[in-house]
Homo-oligomer: A and B are copies of this chain.
Amino acid sequence: MAGTDSSLPLVLAPTPAIILCEPQLGENIGAAARAMANFGLWDLRLVRPRDGWPNEKAIAAASRADHVLERVRVFETLEEAVADLALVYATTARSRDMQKEVLGPEEASAAMAAHIAGGKGAGLLFGRERWGLLNDEVAMADAIVTLPVEPAFASLNIAQAVLLMAYEWRRQSEAGRALPFGGGLDEAAPRQELVGLFEHLEGVLDQTGFFTTPDKRPSMVNNLRTALTRGRFTSQEVRTLRGVISSIDRRHERPNPNRMKPAGSEPAKE
């Protein structure tokens, strides 16, 4: 989806590090970098990327998340990659027979947010495309993080796992939950304008014989007013709708242009 505002400055606030262990495909590294950028993460660390670094396919897949790619650090061992971090979580879709707490993305993000707010480093480990993290890598983590996926179809692409964690991370702050643009409803028109619309319409319908019998008129009017009230039309929309009524009405008048206009059908101010 388009929508990036390049005029806005990128803020590199303290965020969790994303550590990919032996990623196989450059496309996935690039897609992970893009997912991080979408939600304000920027510290990407690679442990022994299979195809080396830098990687052309990663750059292509990152779709201009240059501020992340430029900062990528490559490590020979996981130990080096997490050396500066005091809180490390391992993401996995498989239960491991380990004495480790298992957290969901939200509680893990909340814990990382509190930790990082304390000025300390936190990181999330992601495993290989084929078989995820090794048990000796998971053993290095403080806890396991897993996603509430459909158990019958739990296999998540790495970049998508990174995306969901980045999304939950960003949602930890008030500012992060804010939408990039706001809700767009103008105020509904003052009731008198709505009544003006009703009377205009009903006046025209009196001429066209819409109200089959006088005794039916009140209930038919109520039903029309009920339906037309629900839309909470703005003043502009009320003017437009009156223009619509007048336009249709005038067509019916064409045979006799000198006929009196029905009350309340002054031309709409478009």
The stretch from A72-80, A173-181, A210-218, A243-251 touching chain B is A173-181
Please determine whether A2 and B130 come into contact, CB atoms closer than 8 angstroms.
Answer: yes
Please determine whether A186 and B99 come into contact, CB atoms closer than 8 angstroms.
Answer: yes
CB within 8 Å of B: which of A70-106? Answer: 91-104
Please determine whether A182 and B4 come into contact, CB atoms closer than 8 angstroms.
Answer: no
- Does chain B have a CB within 8 A of A16? no
Q: A146-B181, A180-B148 are in contact. Are A91 and B127 (CB under 8 A)?
A: no
Q: Which of B93, B98, B182 contacts A180 (CB 8 A)?
A: B93
**In the complex, which residue of chain B has the Cβ closest to the Cβ of A163?**
B160
Q: Which of B153, B184, B237 contacts A38 (CB 8 A)?
A: B153
A147–B171 Cα gap in the complex (Å)? 11
The stretch from A5-13, A52-60, A113-121, A253-261 touching chain B is A5-13
Q: Which of A95, A98, A132, A182 has the most CB of B within 10 A?
A: A95
Secondary structure at the A interface, as helix, strand, loop or mixed, is loop
A7-23 interface bits toward B, Cβ cutoff 8 Å, 1 = contact, 0 = none: 01111000000000000
Please determine whether A1 and B153 come into contact, CB atoms closer than 8 angstroms.
Answer: no
The stretch from A29-37, A195-203, A222-230 touching chain B is A29-37
Please determine whether B185 and A99 come into contact, CB atoms closer than 8 angstroms.
Answer: yes
Q: A37-B150, A150-B37 are in contact. Are A1 and B99 (CB under 8 A)?
A: no
A94–B12 Cα gap in the complex (Å)? 23
Please determine whether B92 and A146 come into contact, CB atoms closer than 8 angstroms.
Answer: no
A63–B158 Cα gap in the complex (Å)? 13
**In the complex, which residue of chain B has the Cβ closest to the Cβ of A93?**
B3
A152–B93 Cα gap in the complex (Å)? 31
A127 CB to closest chain B CB (Å) equals 6
- Does chain B have a CB within 8 A of A209? no
A152-192 interface bits toward B, Cβ cutoff 8 Å, 1 = contact, 0 = none: 11111111110110010011000011111111111000000
Q: Which of B8, B146, B150, B185 contacts A152 (CB 8 A)?
A: B8
